[in-house]
Structure 1
Amino acid sequence: MNTSYRIDLRRGVESSAEAQILGHRPQGIQLEHSPDLNVARAEDGKVLILGDCFPYDGTKSPFSRGSKGAAEHVHDVARNYWGRFVVVAHDPDKRLTAIYRDPSGMIPCYYAVEPERVVVGTSAVEMTKVLASQARIDWMSVADCLMASDLREHRTCIDQIIEVTPGEMVVIDTDGPHHQLYWDPSAFLGRNDEYSFEEAAENLWKVLNQVLAAWCARYPRAAVSASGGFDSSAIAELATRHGTVELLHFYTRSPGGDERAYAEQLANHLDKTVRCECSEADSIDVTENRSGFRPRPSACSFTQVFDDASERFATAIDACAHFNGGGGDNVFGKLHSAYPLAELYRHTGLSRSLVSTAINICDVTGVELWSVFRQAAQAIWNPGRIAASWPRQTELMASSAISMASNESHPWLQSARSAGPGQKQHLRNIARGIATTDYLNIRSTRPTIYPLLSQPVIELCLSIPTWFWFMGGRDRALARTAMQPFLPMPIINRSTKGAFDGLLYQIFALNRDQIFRDLNDGTLVSHKLIDMDQITHLQTQDAISASQRARILQLHETEIWCRNWC
């Protein structure tokens, strides 16, 4: 299994004899980790970095020279490095532990605190093995997860297990844990508002190229999931410049899920071949949830087929890692709202560019011009209505669960209360993208890298005017312009995207009776989280919409996750 670790930190002073008996690292630290995670140590082993650190300034060591306290080392790493990493510093004498998780979120990070220990890790199953208390499901958190599956709150679905959100520092002392957003995304919002569109596109290409160079130096042979879309094509093209790349494409037999023509066009452009795998529902086991060991139900049943084929492919080509274009829509400003028009007005006042930008938004969203101006005007004259909220899905939920839903938002949005509405939407989209990085290739021995969610890319994209993403009536216009010289124009100009609705339909059709039976006899209904009357009504219908099928599958996946812990 990739990207897994558990750190057992003893609190209080222990004798050297006790440490030897317990097999602990010096100063009460015991570490287990998967081979793909590099480990660096400082301060006699009291400071650990797990993962991949890349310096902003070209320095090589992730630790500054000179003797420093453990917490100061954490600050140095968080300030000067990007990548995918978690830093843990432990001072048992002071009963103090500091944890930092980098903003990309590519390495999960959870912790639990007991009087005599702090446990940090990726697997709730492994963490609870060393905890004194028995693991129990937090059913209200399960309900929140069903209503906002892409919102990462501190509370997880397992009591006592707490998440360190991306960019966050947690200090645990004798008074308990204290969370602070060390990497504050609001500091980057609008930082480069004076860029011209051309300058922004040029800088974006430079950052993307530098980021892929760093990832390819660390993982020189990558299996790239090439969907045929813009984002994964950009990853493949940039990675080809710096390392060895092999392409894998998934398709289904339904017309909307067959993108082989685009994937093959990319392969021809890069002078490569692409392995095309047909995804079939009959190889999927709906009674299995591969995220069962995590403190939240994050895995989807339909991705089992992708995971298994990806692992076979990566093994055959001896890949170091999987590279994925996930997060591109989120980072590259696919906003589909008129909020950037409101931000342009605040930046320039009345200007000719307002009309052209409004038309660009119409072209991207398909919304009429008057609707664009109306939404922008509401954002300008009544900005208080544009809250740092999170969309919640209440379909098929029990009314009691809905009434007790958490109103907590993401820490990033809490820090950006004064930001423009388009900036808030962009920030929320990026947070949602990061939340989806922990379910693909869970069982693989190789990590999955999401280069577009790397910290330098996020920081630059947040700093750029939001209206640039609509330029010329194209969504993600800035990214398309940056990559235009390097990709085939049909891929650069793609305005549609393939979907796996046909695969979901097959899964549902093959397992319909099993799914409804599990829900009817399950833990979600027994804890009054879902409305079984509505679900039973759907069961009697011959025609169920695609969104309803997807929702029922999500409920069932969560049901299976819960059964792992009951």
Structure 2
Amino acid sequence: MPPAFACLAWPPEDAEACADAGRLASALTRAAGPGANSLRQDGLYLIDLSRSRNGQGRILTVRTRTGEQAGYVYGTLFRRQAGRQRALTDIPAATAERICQTQGRHLLTDYWGHYVLFLRTEKGAVCLTDPVGAFPCFYRRIGKLVCLFSHLEACPPDIRRGLPLDIAFLKRLCLYDKIQTGETGFAGLRELGGGQMLDLDRADARPVQIWDPRRIAGTPLLLSDEAAADCLRETIRDCVTSWAGHVGDGVMDLSGGLDSSIVAACLASAPDTARFEIIHHRVRSGDATELAFAKATGDHLGRPVTPIDILPSRDLPDLDRHPASARPWRQFLGLGFQSLLPDRLRDPGTVFFTGQGGDHLFLMTRSSLGLADCLKTGPRARLWQEWLNAARLSDMSVWQALATNVPYLLGRPGRSLLGEALRSRADAAIRPPGLVPSDVLAGLPDWTLDPDGLPPGKFEQVSALLHMFLVRDPLAGFGGRHVLHPLISQPLIELCLRLPVWQLCLGGVNRGLARAASAGDLPDRVRLRTTKGEATQYFIEHLSANHDRIRDALQDGAVMKAGLLTPRVLDRLLADPILADLSSARMLLQLYGMEAWLRAVTSAR
């Protein structure tokens, strides 16, 4: 089961708040069941709701030099040092002192991992999330008490009571469910993003962005290509093998692409993952199969690959299977995947590794703006070569590539890929009724929209990082798998932010530096491959197979009654000619998930 926690913070001198805390702590203890690990100090209570067996739910206590408790770290911490690291089993007194003095900022500079910090000192009480936001961290205020938790569905009803639906946010979510901001499906319930801090003592406090990727990217690391490849290779290996040593035996979910193959190669080289298995989800549709590439990597590593067939004819999950979570769960439609696994891999403690994150970090792009970046921050000796590389990468002539860069060289600020994608969806012909297009960017971090001085190519990379951070698996149990994305680790993210985009796309090839760094570790058939697999036909076939089920669910359903859909729009989405349109198909699938969620939270009231 993935890690899950709940925390209560309150002013210890307030009698009413203390009484509320005692009542909710008792309810949480009952919900967690016997044996759950919980800790309490004046004004702070933390409980592990997952009782995880693989160490991912460990609670570390922050103690001052005098031995007094100052707070807790929930999760996993590694030191920021070269080489494979072992997770901390306790926090040294000197480190705890620095954590208290800096209100947790010391963790962001000297440590990394998946964690949430809850701290109460003479400076006040704060909560700080790790930069990748590995654990969801929702919060709401009940009087002077703050309730923080990773999974609403794992908490008792007392935590949810009195929360109305946020219809405006749900409309934006219908438009694009991949981007989930600090808003949730309930008014009064919000989420901390990665690298954010919240003052728990101030009722009007809003999250503050402590870790800003623009600050990291603003100090570029200029290395030779060979040194950059070596640094990238070592950092990838350090991150992957640190996680592998922490969780022990696991399963590699190998897509057949470059990124997941790099992770598989690192796992194969780790001394304590001899028993890890490799699986490949083989989509049985009109899309080209990726199995041959996955097997090529497996053969190179001396590891067998177990294909798991995914049929587009499979039924969608029943509407009553969605838990009453804080917002609709993106992975709801994939709940049945767990049942397809061999029995030996269905243990709740099994951890699945992926290669998620590589596209954003190693830079899967066709943009020519690396030329502008090189002109602004790079060595002059590379200009001619990077001009040619920009043309090659973007599939333009050298003059077209130069013309694309000129406006940015003359002062145009960098463009936000995320902002442009959301605006284009808001302008689509089919969208939720009453959606105000100008509201689609609400709640996004500043670093996704404002370059703040970054060169244009680098800002394109930074602005799209939110896609990467939101691939986590946010449900506690409920048939979901425990998934770990080792590439989405702070040391690797910060290295790739500091490496120039023209070097990440070495030789004018997307992810060129990562390809150079993995020479010898992977078969060239996979390492040099520039195409990517698709599942377009799978989505179309899957939707067609479940057409009647979706229609019956949405006609006069909870989505329609909430005003998120009209009969006219539904008719257009269900019309046969539109079934070949992938965006319409995906919207129908999103609406089905929204329907299941609305029914769940309505019945839980």
TM value normalised by structure 1: 0.89
1:147 aligns with 2:175: yes
2:30 alignment partner in structure 1? none
Structure 1 position 368, deviation (Å): 4.9
Higher alpha-carbon deviation: 22-31 or 57-66: 57-66
Pick the aligned partner of 1:122 from 150, 156, 161.
150
Distance 2:262 2:365 in 1: 20
Q: Deviations over 1:464-487 (max 9, x none)?
A: 011113222321111111111211
8 Å Cα contact 1:300-1:554 kept in structure 2? no
Q: 3-state DSSP class of the match of 1:452? A: coil
Pick the aligned partner of 1:500 from 528, 535, 544.
535
User: Residue 5 and residue 559 in structure 1: after superposition, are their counterparts in 2 closer, same or farther (change >3 A)?
Assistant: same
Structure 1 position 367, deviation (Å): 4.4
Structure 1 position 53, deviation (Å): 0.4
Q: 3-state DSSP class of the match of 2:12? A: coil
Distance 1:187 1:252 in 2: 41
Structure 1 position 347, deviation (Å): 2.6
Structure 1 position 521, deviation (Å): 1.8
1:250 aligns with 2:281: yes
Distance 2:437 2:283 in 1: 40
Pick the aligned partner of 1:314 from 337, 345, 350.
345
Q: Which residue identity lines up with residue 400 of structure 1 in the other structure?
A: G
User: Residue 387 and residue 412 in structure 1: after superposition, are their counterparts in 2 closer, same or farther (change >3 A)?
Assistant: closer
User: Residue 402 and residue 522 in structure 1: after superposition, are their counterparts in 2 closer, same or farther (change >3 A)?
Assistant: farther
Structure 1 position 561, deviation (Å): 2.0
Structure 1 position 12, deviation (Å): 3.2
Correspondence 1:287-306 to 2 at 5 A: 287-288=318-319, 292-306=323-337
User: Residue 417 and residue 562 in structure 1: after superposition, are their counterparts in 2 closer, same or farther (change >3 A)?
Assistant: farther
2:405 alignment partner in structure 1? 376
Q: 3-state DSSP class of the match of 2:519? A: helix
Distance 1:74 1:120 in 2: 17
Q: Which residue identity lines up with residue 53 of structure 1 in the other structure?
A: L
Structure 1 position 215, deviation (Å): 0.7
8 Å Cα contact 1:289-1:301 kept in structure 2? no
Structure 1 position 247, deviation (Å): 0.2
8 Å Cα contact 2:392-2:509 kept in structure 1? yes
8 Å Cα contact 2:416-2:449 kept in structure 1? no
Q: Which residue identity lines up with residue 59 of structure 2 in the other structure?
A: V
User: Residue 357 and residue 305 in structure 1: after superposition, are their counterparts in 2 closer, same or farther (change >3 A)?
Assistant: farther
User: Residue 163 and residue 357 in structure 1: after superposition, are their counterparts in 2 closer, same or farther (change >3 A)?
Assistant: same
1:234 aligns with 2:273: no
8 Å Cα contact 1:224-1:248 kept in structure 2? yes
1:400 aligns with 2:400: no
Distance 1:378 1:333 in 2: 23
Structure 1 position 354, deviation (Å): 4.3
Q: 3-state DSSP class of the match of 1:486? A: coil
2:520 alignment partner in structure 1? 485
Pick the aligned partner of 2:545 from 507, 510, 513.
510
Q: 3-state DSSP class of the match of 2:104? A: helix
Distance 2:174 2:599 in 1: 16
Structure 1 position 342, deviation (Å): 1.5
Q: Deviations over 1:376-411 (max 9, x none)?
A: 122222423735862212332145213462433324
Structure 1 position 166, deviation (Å): 0.5
Question: Unmatched 5+ residue regions in structure 1?
Answer: none
2:32 alignment partner in structure 1? none
Q: 3-state DSSP class of the match of 2:546? A: helix
Q: Deviations over 1:249-294 (max 9, x none)?
A: 1112225252111111111111111111101244443444876443
TM value normalised by structure 2: 0.84
Structure 1 position 193, deviation (Å): 4.1
8 Å Cα contact 1:11-1:115 kept in structure 2? no
Q: Deviations over 1:126-147 (max 9, x none)?
A: 4572348422221111122233
Higher alpha-carbon deviation: 196-205 or 412-421: 412-421
2:595 alignment partner in structure 1? 559
Distance 2:201 2:229 in 1: 45
Structure 1 position 122, deviation (Å): 1.4
Q: Which residue identity lines up with residue 8 of structure 1 in the other structure?
A: L
Distance 1:284 1:71 in 2: 54
RMSD: 3.1
2:73 alignment partner in structure 1? 49
1:219 alignment partner in structure 2? 247
Higher alpha-carbon deviation: 372-381 or 412-421: 412-421
8 Å Cα contact 1:222-1:321 kept in structure 2? yes
2:359 alignment partner in structure 1? 329
8 Å Cα contact 2:178-2:330 kept in structure 1? no
Correspondence 1:75-114 to 2 at 5 A: 75-90=105-120, 96-114=124-142
Correspondence 1:17-56 to 2 at 5 A: 25-28=40-43, 29-34=45-50, 35=52, 36-43=56-63, 44-56=68-80
Distance 1:9 1:310 in 2: 41
2:461 alignment partner in structure 1? 426
1:187 alignment partner in structure 2? 215
Distance 2:160 2:329 in 1: 26
Q: 3-state DSSP class of the match of 2:580? A: coil
Q: Deviations over 1:424-460 (max 9, x none)?
A: 2111222211112235896468632111110000000
Q: Which residue identity lines up with residue 181 of structure 2 in the other structure?
A: E
1:62 aligns with 2:91: yes
User: Residue 69 and residue 364 in structure 1: after superposition, are their counterparts in 2 closer, same or farther (change >3 A)?
Assistant: closer
Question: Unmatched 5+ residue regions in structure 2?
Answer: 27-38
Q: Which residue identity lines up with residue 334 of structure 2 in the other structure?
A: T
1:548 aligns with 2:584: yes
Structure 1 position 85, deviation (Å): 0.9
Q: 3-state DSSP class of the match of 1:383? A: coil
Correspondence 1:195-214 to 2 at 5 A: 195-214=223-242
Structure 1 position 210, deviation (Å): 1.1
User: Residue 144 and residue 367 in structure 1: after superposition, are their counterparts in 2 closer, same or farther (change >3 A)?
Assistant: farther
8 Å Cα contact 2:151-2:474 kept in structure 1? no
% identical aligned pairs? 20
Q: 3-state DSSP class of the match of 1:438? A: coil
Q: Deviations over 1:488-547 (max 9, x none)?
A: 000101112222233322321121122133333234444443454243134232453233
Structure 1 position 52, deviation (Å): 0.9
User: Residue 368 and residue 512 in structure 1: after superposition, are their counterparts in 2 closer, same or farther (change >3 A)?
Assistant: farther
Q: Which residue identity lines up with residue 584 of structure 2 in the other structure?
A: Q
Q: 3-state DSSP class of the match of 2:599? A: helix
Distance 1:491 1:132 in 2: 48
Distance 1:504 1:441 in 2: 26
Q: Which residue identity lines up with residue 274 of structure 1 in the other structure?
A: V
Distance 1:527 1:328 in 2: 38
Q: How many residues align?
A: 562
Higher alpha-carbon deviation: 295-304 or 229-238: 295-304
2:202 alignment partner in structure 1? 174
8 Å Cα contact 2:333-2:593 kept in structure 1? no
